[in-house]
Structure 1
Amino acid sequence: MPFNTYNGVFAEEKKLGQKIEVDCEMTYPIEAKVRTDNLEETVSYADVYDTIAQFVAHHNYNLIESLANNLLHEILRTYPMLDEVRLRIRKYSVPIAGIFDNIEIEVQGANDHE
């Protein structure tokens, strides 16, 4: 999912913004939980997209690690039926010397269903 954000340490990033991409993998036992072809038995991808889009639009951090960790906790809190969530966030146009396409970080977490 691509988004334009204003996350970053450098003034240019906060002023001009940059593109990020978010990958979200969700673990949910559909084999056991989805029985009747009813959306109420699963997690709406549209709702998860909206949660991510709203969070990214309204939260700016110096570090994409902070964005990733806080977004991870928001998804786990909002969708407690999920077993696990893994996020990968790629940031483009990073104002540092070097030749690369992007930088990427990954975080993962789980809901405690005990």
Structure 2
Amino acid sequence: MTSYKDVDRAVEILFDTAAISTSGDNDIIAAPGAGKRIVLSSIIVQNESSTATTALLKDGASTTFHRLLMQNQGDGLAFTFARGREWRLTENTKFVVNLSGANSVGVSIGYFVEEIA
């Protein structure tokens, strides 16, 4: 994992990558603990297989934030959230990518952890 200091936000942005291929929920970022939440600043998801795959980007095990159909190899999503518009997960929940089948998908995430007042 790599990181850099975002001076504008006064936080350390962490970067993590995962190559997943399990049908169903795949934990990408672990829950940060009580009183904290994950804040996603960028997301890249790409189908690395030749099989059409649907990915659900989830806030924990139950709340789906985005549904993505990757019909062909190389299809995917690359998104950077504007400052102040980041995706803030629920307190103490993990970031999950759910796959419709056991197909290879690459995931890269930029995020930080913030304290909840």
Instruction: Return the TM-score normalized by structure 2.
Output: 0.32
Higher alpha-carbon Rg? 1
Structure with bigger strand share is 2
Structure with bigger helix share is 1
Of structures 1 and 2, the one scoring higher in RCO (CA 8 A, sep 6+) is 2
